[in-house]
Amino acid sequence: MSDLPKPKYKWRQTWPNHPKHFCGYDGSRHIASIYWNHMGWWNWFMCWNWARNASRWKRPNGQADSAREAALEAEKCYEAILRCEWPGMAPEDLQCMLDNEEWMRTRL
């Protein structure tokens, strides 16, 4: 058993026929995805980064040796974004993302 802490958010398999691809959720918010790369590592990337100026951020993705490590790294990134502490991020970026999320929720 790994000495790493357990992920804080809910992670579930993305598709039934892809056993090494998972999505992470904070409630109903899809925050990140992780997947096994055939070269031998796990990739993680943020799905919750729609800020108008996100192109100036440090890239919100990376690699890890295990699925758990990838999930933990994605969660650290997500929480840094929520605190407006992700490198290159400005407070208006978070507000833009929250506004976009609300607009998406109410347009249906």
Is 30 domain-assigned? yes
Domain membership flag for residue 3: no
Count of the separate structural domains present in the chain:
1
Higher-confidence residue of 107 and 1: namely 107
> Is 1 part of any domain?
no
User: How would DSSP label each residue in 3-47?
Assistant: SSPPPSSEEEEEETTEEEEEEEEETTEEEEEEEEETTTEEEEEES
Q: At what angle do helices 67-82 and 91-106 cross, to 10 degrees?
A: 100
Q: What is the pTM of this model?
A: 0.88
Quick check: is 5 in a domain?
no
Amino acid at 79: E
Which pLDDT belongs to residue 22?
A: 97
**Within 10 A of 10 (CB to CB), how many other CB atoms are there?**
12
Q: State residue 2's pLDDT score.
A: 66
Domain that holds residue 81: 10-106
